[in-house]
A and B are shown apart, each in its own frame.
Chain A
Amino acid sequence: GAGVSQSPSNKVTEKGKDVELRCDPISGHTALYWYRQSLGQGLEFLIYFQGNSAPDKSGLPSDRFSAERTGGSVSTLTIQRTQQEDSAVYLCASSSQLAGGPETQYFGPGTRLLVL
């Protein structure tokens, strides 16, 4: 079956512009996660969705970052007024809810964002 997909694969934008990054999780996966991979910080958790709700937004670095999920499926991460330090690879992952067991997170290929 299809894995996690993300679009665009690459995005170049100018400082101050807004960007939207999209994630399509594995069908049937109720949990969705956004992470950021950057040279200086490694892999950082941003936000977690269970269904359409986001119980944990603690990793969002500033109020310029927001995310939503609709229909328990596709999620969009929006970065407003982008800054150069936002340049990174943004990774999305999804997992199913397994009774009594750990939820393995399956990752998408990422969106590489470059802010000029």
Chain B
Amino acid sequence: GDSVTQMEGPVTLSEEAFLTINCTYTATGYPSLFWYVQYPGEGLQLLLKATKADDKGSNKGFEATYRKETTSFHLEKGSVQVSDSAVYFCALRGGGSNYKLTFGKGTLLTVNP
């Protein structure tokens, strides 16, 4: 079945540091890929998405590129801020279905001033 593996946290960075959170997946067909973010005390929010190979999703300075050859969708940001502190979830919607999201375990990011 479909699965998502993402880098385990927690990740602690200083403000303005470079961020990478690794995400790899296993899926049949051609999945769509997502990053969701959960800020403290809030619900899950879509951060960015990509629907086909080589697509790059971007939002709020975050980027991720859909790499079919390496089955990866790593999240990056060039300069993190304290306000980026949150839990980040990588997820896929399998090509064989158009509904169910399969999530990774989540990565807690803490950014210190």
Contacts and interface: CB of A to CB of B under 8 A. Distances in A.
Interface stretch (B17-25, B45-53, B58-66, B77-85): B45-53
Nearest to A43: B103
Contact of A42 (B43, B44, B99, B104): B104
A1 interface: no
A103 B51 contact: no
Contacts, number: 51
A43 B107 CA distance: 12
Given A48-B99, A101-B51, A102-B98, A110 B106 contact: no
Contacts of A109: 42-43
Interface size class of A (residues with CB under 8 A): 20 to 34
B106 A42 contact: yes
Contacts of B32: 102
A42 B100 contact: no
A65 B104 CA distance: 24
Contact of B43 (A45, A103, A108): A108
A98 B9 CA distance: 35
A26 interface: no
A91 B43 contact: yes
B101 interface: yes
Interface string B57-76: 00000000000000000000
B16 to A, nearest CB: 30
A31 B99 contact: yes
Contacts of A102: 32, 49, 51, 93, 98
B108 to A, nearest CB: 12
Contacts of B45: 107
28 contacts: A33-B99, A33-B100, A35-B101, A42-B105, A43-B89, A43-B91, A43-B101, A43-B103, A45-B101, A45-B102, A48-B99, A48-B100, A50-B99, A56-B99, A56-B100, A59-B100, A93-B44, A95-B99, A102-B51, A102-B98, A103-B99, A104-B46, A104-B49, A106-B46, A107-B36, A107-B43, A107-B45, A110-B43
